[in-house]
Amino acid sequence: MSTLTTRSQDYSQWYNDLILKGGLADYSSVRGCMVIKPYGYALWENMRDVLDRMFKSTGHQNAYFPLFVPKSLFEAEEKNAEGFAKECAVVTHYRLKADPEQKGKLIVDPAARLEEELVVRPTSEAIIWNTYKGWIQSYRDLPLLINQWANVVRWEMRTRLFLRTAEFLWQEGHTAHATKEEALSETLQMLDVYAQFAEEYMALPVVKGIKTANERFAGAEDTYCIEALMQDGKALQAGTSHFLGQNFAKAFDVKFAAKDNTMEYVWATSWGVSTRLIGALVMAHSDDQGLVLPPKIAPLQVVIVPIFSKDAEARQKIDETAEQLTRSLRGKGITVKYDNDDTSRPGWKFAEHELRGVPVRIALGARDIEQNQAEVARRDTREKMTLSLEGIADAIHQLLDEIQHNLYNRALQFRDAHTTAVDSWEDFVQVLETKAGFISAHWDGTPETEERIKELTKATIRCIPLNNAAEEGHCVLSGKPSRQRVLFARAY
Amino acid sequence: MSTLTTRSQDYSQWYNDLILKGGLADYSSVRGCMVIKPYGYALWENMRDVLDRMFKSTGHQNAYFPLFVPKSLFEAEEKNAEGFAKECAVVTHYRLKADPEQKGKLIVDPAARLEEELVVRPTSEAIIWNTYKGWIQSYRDLPLLINQWANVVRWEMRTRLFLRTAEFLWQEGHTAHATKEEALSETLQMLDVYAQFAEEYMALPVVKGIKTANERFAGAEDTYCIEALMQDGKALQAGTSHFLGQNFAKAFDVKFAAKDNTMEYVWATSWGVSTRLIGALVMAHSDDQGLVLPPKIAPLQVVIVPIFSKDAEARQKIDETAEQLTRSLRGKGITVKYDNDDTSRPGWKFAEHELRGVPVRIALGARDIEQNQAEVARRDTREKMTLSLEGIADAIHQLLDEIQHNLYNRALQFRDAHTTAVDSWEDFVQVLETKAGFISAHWDGTPETEERIKELTKATIRCIPLNNAAEEGHCVLSGKPSRQRVLFARAY
């Protein structure tokens, strides 16, 4: 196993090393697109399954809409179109043919040009609202609460594994409501679902907030978000929930007959999280030995490594104990693997499972079994302990809970220690350069000042926290009056 | 509710009516692409979940590969490329820009032309084998057993909801092996998985067979398939499993170091089923009243419809009984809905749930409850029976099993009755015109004869059944000697 770059050597390279060597993803030969490897996909499946249950238990159903958006639909909601036009993959032809000049090669058949170009969906509001037009006639058709699991494409210039890829996997909820209040309450409900998922399952503390106009989703009236802090002090937007007002209903002429028989435009929300969350997970918890995964979503929670001696009888005893332990752990709903591969040594296996972030490792040797005990190592703190085999399954179950909580608390402490209230421009710049993290500062509320701060420091307003206290003050750059602090940070 | 076209009136329209009015799918504004509605998607989720468990229990892992295939990779395996070139959606540009001549409209930005065009995957052998090249070095990396759930695009000229759409959802398994024997055995194992899924879960009897060269997957050495018979006597290919030999390994130069240190090309398989299966399901079991869904994959297995009187006390009694019944059915793992919507009448609800193919309907009225019984209707036979409320959950559980078996047996009887052995050309044509179904006939083994039969009758060889008996005979068209019968049919 090759060595990993450490965080202090090169944070960015450390991240790539973990993704590649930890077996989460690989580069592909398509510009900006990645291959999600089995281990990374298993992690995504676990995240998806939890989210899917949360969506269904809040009344949503899944559906599937076309990958392609005809250009004329794409451009219907002007702001949305303008926001995504610069990064659209466009299908213009529907056939290849043999290259007459090079045997065995193909060229695009110029005779097979589409009458209307198709945009590969960067997001599905346009195609979905064009469909909803046919589904919504009266208030009895509302609310319409639909989610889609899908791939989307945004032709980003600079890409990073998981964090920003040209194609990514995500879910996008698209709901339709009879009233503004109901749509707003849905927007906030889904923000809460995302926050709960991030904190309970990913062990990732997040700030719930609202975006400024500059950072708003193209076509939304308001964008709500959850923002998390990474170990290098940069922020990461982990999920967004948009109140779309009646913008899409107007663009696609979706009206409903209200109870009083008047025709009204429908109110909309949309909300999404993506495979980007895996990047957040890696950067929030992992260390210089490799991935650290929260037990609740880890593809593998426990690995048992035998310490074989040459004694066949001892070996058999280890196998038996391991199999018994595997059964009793599985009986508690714990995923476990007995890594009895003969071709590698225990030390190599230890390092490999640390690299892959398996939360708990149990080593079983002949002497351990004689003493009715096992050596247990937790991945989060790398502590080792000796546990009695009596009742060990219960102890492991508790340990997994403890690891889950410890990861959350550690990340929360880190975030608290890296959230700094700042009242002068000098401090703002200094904190950003020396300590990074979230900076809580007054802002005069203008897009111009926000833009200027971004130009000067690369820091953006991550959000106006929802639980913000009212506080009189002066903008950290312009000195103009301000009524609340907002959260700044450099961000992924 | 509008009336449905019957099968005898217009089979094709009946099918479309069921899909649209049964709430499975809708047309979209993208040519040849459909919207899978929540009810249809729930059905697909159930099918996907069963298949996914079967794949995992046979040692496969999921992963995800890019949507786009660079043209130079796409053309590497020549036969595969040739087979799919005619129906490829091609991305040529990565940006739209404002139309200088029409405000608010967008045009493809000619400056954003891709250096190399990207094919939207019609199947993923090319992109996957190009990736496997980096993953496979030695025999220790084999077998590689990977599956992908994904959307694919094939630009078909004539499309039908579910049966043939430009975009569809599917799974594609792609495995790599050290030996030919192992790859062949994997190919057959997955064919068995498909057959088991079709028969046990979809209640769809299938013939396992091998395709002739004419019908083989482009790039395969051999294509195995499961073939099912629809109620109009046409066949439908429900799944395929391909033995790819070393074709893709050679095209992408994927070699491994064998135990004896020689470098050898890897052996490959691929196998897939798609949302097309939903079309097969509808056409195999449904009737003139609507969908008929097998209990094992139905999104909703039981619906309880209250027969309310005006007496508030009786109504409360019905609600209580229904809720109790719902709980005890759920306790047995049965999905159930209490349809107590006040705004529609029981008769309307009965028709609606018949249309949607809910396997069992329970009607609960005040008099039923007084007599400690309920009226139960099964969707497959439309029989009604009166069951005691005592032990009704167990009875419903058994009834669901019985419906599942009955659907399978009914379809099997239909297939047996519509499989005809034929020994002359005259009979071949007559059976095809009057009775349809599978025709078991001798064929001289040449692609030319097969092609000629297709031109004359539109019937194709669906497969050479795996369990075929050796039998000497003469080709039904050419009269040349033949050693076995093959299965002909007109097909979807």
Model confidence at B311, in pLDDT bands (50, 70, 90)?
confident
Q: What is the identity of the amino acid at B444?
A: D
Instruction: Tell me the CB-side half-sphere exposure of residue A330, using CA atoms within 13 A.
Output: 10
Does the distance separating the beta carbons of B146 and A38 come in below 8 Å?
yes
Cα–Cα–Cα angle for B14, B19, B23, rounded to 5 degrees:
135
Per-residue pLDDT, B401: 98
List all residues 6 or more positions away from A123 whose beta carbon is below 8 Å from its beta carbon: A80, A84, A152, A172, A270, A272
Percent of chain B with pLDDT over 70: 100
Cβ–Cβ pairs < 8 A, chains A and B: 196
Per-residue pLDDT, A309: 81
Looking at chain B, which residues constitute the CATH 3.30.930.10 domain(s)? 11-91+121-285
Q: pLDDT for B259-295, tens place per residue?
A: 999 999 999 999 999 999 999 999 999 999 999 999 9
Per-residue pLDDT, B294: 98
Q: pLDDT for A192-219, tens place per residue?
A: 999 999 999 999 999 999 999 999 999 9
Q: pLDDT for B463-487, tens place per residue?
A: 999 988 899 999 999 999 999 999 9
Mean pLDDT of chain A: 97
ipTM of the predicted assembly exceeds 0.85: yes
Looking at chain A, which residues constitute the CATH 3.30.930.10 domain(s)? 11-65+134-285
Q: Which CATH architecture has domain B302-399?
A: 3-Layer(aba) Sandwich (3.40)
Does the distance separating the beta carbons of A167 and B120 come in below 8 Å?
no
Interface of A with B in 333-352 (CB under 8 A): 343
Q: What is the identity of the amino acid at B20?
A: L
Does domain B11-91+121-285 fall into CATH 1.10.240.10?
no
Q: pLDDT for A254-289, tens place per residue?
A: 999 999 999 999 999 999 999 999 999 999 999 999
CA distance A278 to chain B (A): 14
CB-based contact, A492 to chain B, within 8 Å: no
Q: What length is written for chain B? A: 492
Structure-token pair, residue B430: 């007559």
Distance of CA B349 to the CA centre of its chain: 29
Q: What is the identity of the amino acid at B119?
A: V
Interface of A with B in 163-192 (CB under 8 A): 167, 169
Q: pLDDT for B384-425, tens place per residue?
A: 999 999 999 999 999 999 999 999 999 999 999 999 999 999
- Spatial separation of the C-alpha atoms in residues B326 and A67, rounded to whole Å: 39
CB-based contact, A145 to chain B, within 8 Å: no
Question: What strand order describes the sheet that includes A207-210?
Answer: A61-62, A144-153, A167-177, A267-274, A235-245, A222-229, A207-210, A460-465, A485-489, A438-442, A419-421
Per-residue pLDDT, A310: 83
The yes-or-no verdict on residue B1 having pLDDT over 60 is: no
Looking at chain A, which residues constitute the CATH 3.30.110.30 domain(s)? 419-489
Per-residue pLDDT, A2: 64
To the question of pTM greater than 0.90 for the whole model, the response is yes
Please give the CATH topology (third level) of the domain spanning A11-65+134-285.
BirA Bifunctional Protein; domain 2 (3.30.930)
Does the distance separating the beta carbons of B68 and A88 come in below 8 Å?
no
Domain spanning B419-489: which CATH class is it, in words?
Answer: alpha beta
List all residues 6 or more positions away from A418 whose beta carbon is below 8 Å from its beta carbon: A229, A233, A435, A436, A437, A438
SS3 B447: helix
Could you tell me which chain B residue has the CA closest to the CA of A168?
B66
Does the distance separating the beta carbons of A140 and B35 come in below 8 Å?
no
Name the helix (H) or strand (E) containing B245. Answer: strand B235-245
Tens of pLDDT along chain A (492 residues)? 568 999 999 999 999 999 999 999 999 999 999 999 999 999 999 999 999 999 999 999 999 999 999 999 999 999 999 999 999 999 999 999 999 999 999 999 999 999 999 999 999 999 999 999 999 999 999 999 999 999 999 999 899 999 999 999 999 999 999 999 999 999 999 999 999 999 999 999 999 999 999 999 999 999 999 999 999 999 999 999 999 999 999 999 999 999 999 999 999 999 999 999 999 999 999 999 999 999 999 999 999 999 988 888 999 999 999 999 999 999 999 999 999 998 899 999 999 999 999 999 999 999 999 999 999 999 999 999 999 999 999 999 999 999 999 999 999 999 999 999 999 999 999 999 999 999 999 999 999 999 999 999 999 999 999 988 899 999 999 999 999 999 999 999
Does the distance separating the beta carbons of A35 and B63 come in below 8 Å?
yes
Long-range contacts from A408-413, C-beta under 8 angstroms, 24+ separation: A408/A199, A408/A203, A408/A204, A408/A205, A408/A294, A410/A285, A410/A380, A411/A203, A411/A204, A411/A205, A411/A229, A411/A284, A411/A285, A412/A205
Per-residue pLDDT, B3: 84
Interface test with A, best of B88, B154, B157 (most A CBs within 10 A): B88
List all residues 6 or more positions away from A69 whose beta carbon is below 8 Å from its beta carbon: A118, A119, A120, A121, A124, A126, A127, B30
Looking at chain A, which residues constitute the CATH 3.40.50.800 domain(s)? 302-399
Does the distance separating the beta carbons of A41 and B61 come in below 8 Å?
yes
